[in-house]
Structure 1
Amino acid sequence: MTEQKAYQDEQVFSLTLMANFVHQVVNPLNAVCGTLDNIVQGDVPVGTVKQRINASRSQIEYCVELIRNLAFLAEYTRDPVIYRQRHAGKVTVIPQVLIQAALFFQETGRKKQMKIHMVDRETQYKVNADPDLLRQVFINLFDNGVKYAHRATDIIVRTHIQKRTNDLLIEVINQSDPIPRELWEKIFEVGFRGENAQRLIASGTGLGLYICRLILSVYNGSITYSGARSSESIFTIRLPGAWA
């Protein structure tokens, strides 16, 4: 491949990614505008106004998180070394950030009869990481689960410290169509969307899982995918140097 061809391909990819990103942000905001118009015009039953406002708030929060994804990507790729230095020295408490991330999806989950269930909500695990960045990881994972997991199933979260390594292991498990083994690594590539994702939701940024891996790499962590059963998807996060 010539240098010119590689540059053209990169430009096409960037424009496609941006177009998908804008689409993902504009659609929920249009829905919020429609809801507010209906409330102002008195077209929404009084008993459902609060519910509609809460739903609109969730959509706005989702848009904010999409924008944060793009902002993180732009800042990190500009100078990874400076970015790592700027976000060093902070401590994250688990499950605090897990609970915060899960709150974003209460309304969406309710519509699909889904909930995010943490097996252990009491044990306070700590890791050297920026809580805002780790929260973004879990928001991306829960967003992925709520979008693609089977209706009326739970997203299960398990946490524990591995004694041999002192690594904190966090498993996010959902019931969804299996991903072929040859794609287990590919799903973390920027812009990649599998056939199942495209079938269920026509457009998407293809940034979520890529950014999960990128953020975790800032703290020498990792994320992997496996399909233990035909309908079970497991994302395993590993963060070093944890304590309780």
Structure 2
Amino acid sequence: MDKGKSKLSLESLIPFYFFGYRISISGFYIWAFIIIVFMLLAGIMVGIVLWTGPVWSKILALILLVGFLGIGFWGIDLARRNELRKLKSCLLALISEKQENRVYFDQADDELGEIGFLLNQVLDLCEQRLFKQRRLMGGISHDLRTPLTIMRGNLEVALLRERTKEEYREVLESNLEEVDRLARLVEELLTISKAEAGDLVMRLEPVRLGQFLSELVKEYQVRAKDKGLDLTINIKDEIVINADKHWLTELFANLIENAIQYSQRGGKLEISLKEREKEAWVEVSDQGVGIPQEELPFIFEPFYRGTQAKTMATKGYGLGLSICKQIAEAHNGTIEVDSRIGPESGTIFKLRLPIR
């Protein structure tokens, strides 16, 4: 139970030992047993007193015995209803957006406890998704506002006075760049949305992964060289997988571009491929600035940009790695990351894909 969340106690458990075995019985059942025994004994005692009398006293004894048992069961039902009212109060609090409330119990010992446990799990899941949705909306709002502000500024300046054709052309070209940025943002958001909904269209075909990676790396050799980086590829095994070439290109292009973007002049980048445990293991490693350990669990979430990305003022929306994860999982694969910062900083993305 997280601190700051209110507790709604359903039951407390009392341990009993039966022939050396520890048995946890909810306090509710203990009190139910005590009530039944007490009312039964009271009924028997009254019955014994009245049974020695005439016939009418015997009938009265039976009526009193049944009445005592009825009162006992009514008390048990009242206690259970009280527990259900507490659960109802929790739900009403949640409806009123007091989402910090949780149903608290020591152990899911009976049906009500299990319901409370499952309810807490549902609430935690909803809270996590709501948090992600709010951050997603915040990220979208921020990334939409920036290009729109630039476009508005360009147009307002252009309208202040008459300008030459060349000046108007510059304004239009600048705005066209911002439109392209918005189009890329929308395209990436659609990709993530389709992937999360399971609607990502996959056109699988046999792909020679070593050849595919070699051709892709050639396209980035010039860019890496211009930045003073040594980009190499190491293929130990030629592997054939079933994959969608379009999405596979998107995945590795994001990883390679990130490696180039966050690496300093003179650094080395390597893409390696090998077969292990009937899987294709691909690693994209760099000697860049690295990622702090506390940020690693979040880097595959949409719109998450780490400290280094903000410090270096790199372009991007924080969607690339989230897309990589979705594409890897759509191919029944996995993607992980190891990173370190300091004198020997660097990052390794590890991709596992099933072999055809």
The alignment's TM-score, normalised by the length of structure 1, stands at 0.68
Q: Distance in 2 between matches of 1:172 and 1:82?
A: 28
State the AA in 2 paired with 1:227.
S
Q: Do the aligned residues in 2 keep the contact of 1:156 with 1:172 (CA within 8 Å)?
A: yes
Correspondence for 2:198? 81
Q: Which residue of 1 aligns with 2:299?
A: 187
| Residue 9 of structure 1, CA deviation | 5.6
1:74-153 mapped onto 2 (5 Å cutoff): 74-75=190-191, 77-78=193-194, 80-83=197-200, 86-120=201-235, 123-153=237-267
Amino acid in structure 2 at the alignment position of 1:191: F
Q: Are 2:340 and 1:232 equivalent residues in the alignment?
A: no
One-letter code of the match for 2:349? F
Aligned to 1:207: 319
Question: Hey, what's the Cα distance between the residues in 1 that align with 2:192 and 2:205?
Answer: 17
2:30 — aligned with what? none
Q: Structure 2 matches for 1:24-43, cutoff 5 A?
A: none
Number of equivalent positions: 199
Tell me how large the CA RMSD over aligned residues is.
3.4
Distance 1:139 1:65 in 2: 18
Equivalent position SS for 2:271: strand
- Would you say the 8 A contact 1:216–1:222 is kept in 2? yes
Per-residue deviation, residues 61-115 of structure 1 (Å, max 9, x unmatched)? xx999966853541552474342xx414322221233234324433331221113
Task: Provide the residue aligned with 2:331 in structure 1.
Answer: 219
- The answer for unaligned runs of 5 or more in structure 2 is 1-93, 100-129, 152-165, 167-176
Q: Secondary structure at the match of 2:272?
A: strand
Amino acid corresponding to residue 196 of structure 1 in structure 2: Q
- Could you say if the C-alpha distance between residues 82 and 13 of structure 1 is closer, same or farther in structure 2, counting changes exceeding 3 Å? closer
Q: 2:279 aligns to what?
A: 167
Show the counterpart of 2:139: 13
Percent identity over the alignment is: 23
Question: Is 1:185–1:224's contact at 8 Å kept on the other side of the alignment?
Answer: no
The separation in 2 between residues aligned to 1:203 and 1:146, in whole angstroms, is: 13
1:197 aligns with 2:309: yes
Distance (whole Å) between structure 1 residues aligned to residue 249 and residue 281 of structure 2: 15
SS at match of 1:235: strand
Go from structure 1 to structure 2 and tell me whether the alpha carbon gap of 1:95 and 1:67 turns closer, same or farther (over 3 Å shift).
farther
Deviation at 1:223, TM superposition (A): 0.9
Tell me if structure 1 keeps the 8 A contact 2:136–2:303. Answer: no
Q: Gapped runs of 5+ residues in structure 1?
A: 27-36, 38-59
In 2, Cα distance between equivalents of 1:65 and 1:100: 27
Provide closer, same or farther for how the CA distance between residues 225 and 167 of structure 1 changes in structure 2, counting only shifts above 3 A: same
Answer whether contact 1:65 1:136 (CA < 8 A) is retained.
Answer: no
Larger gyration radius, structure 1 or structure 2: 2
Taking the aligned partners of 1:95 and 1:65, their CA distance within structure 2 comes to 32
User: Alignment partner of 2:198: what SS?
Assistant: helix
Higher relative contact order (CA 8 A, sep 6+): 1
Q: TM-score, normalised by structure 2?
A: 0.48
Alignment partners' CA distance in 1, 2:258 and 2:347: 11
Q: 1:215 to 1:19 in 2, by over 3 A?
A: farther
Distance in 2 separating the partners of 1:117 and 1:155: 6
> In structure 2, do the counterparts of structure 1 residues 101 and 13 end up closer, same or farther at CA, with 3 Å as the change threshold?
same
CA distance in 1, matches of 2:142, 2:225: 32
Task: Point out the more displaced range, 148-157 or 209-218.
Answer: 148-157
1:238 counterpart SS class: strand
Secondary structure at the residue paired with 1:155?
strand
